[in-house]
Amino acid sequence: MVNIFKGAITAIVTPFKENGDIDGESLRKLVKFQIKNKIDGIVPCGTTGESPTLDYEEHHRVIEIVIAATDG
């Protein structure tokens, strides 16, 4: 069995604006902070508690923002 996951992986929080919308700019900043500090992986919509409150489109939006912020 090959283990493809190794190192430190952050289950990143999803920031929201006061109106309940996803705060894309803050999310991008959080991702860049993780990369700058040499994290090995990022898990959007993970175990940080907000995942059950996101609808299908919001899940996709968070993942899209995180992928774009990592530059692939």
Q: What is the pLDDT of residues 3-58, one digit of tens each?
A: 888 899 999 999 999 999 999 999 999 999 999 999 999 999 987 767 788 899 99
Please report whether residue 4 resides in a domain.
no
How far does the chain reach from its first CA to its final CA, in angstroms? 26
pTM of this structure: 0.87
Please report whether residue 3 resides in a domain.
no
Contact assessment for residue 14 and residue 54, using Cβ atoms and an 8 Å cutoff: yes
Element (DSSP H or E) covering residue 35: helix 24-36
pLDDT tens digits along 46-56: 877 677 888 99
Domain count across the chain: 1
Would you place residue 60 in the very low, low, confident or very high pLDDT band (cuts 50, 70, 90)? very high
Residue 65, pLDDT above cutoff 90 = yes
Please report whether residue 43 resides in a domain.
yes
Please report whether residue 1 resides in a domain.
no
Distance CA 11, CA 9 (A): 7
Contact assessment for residue 38 and residue 30, using Cβ atoms and an 8 Å cutoff: no
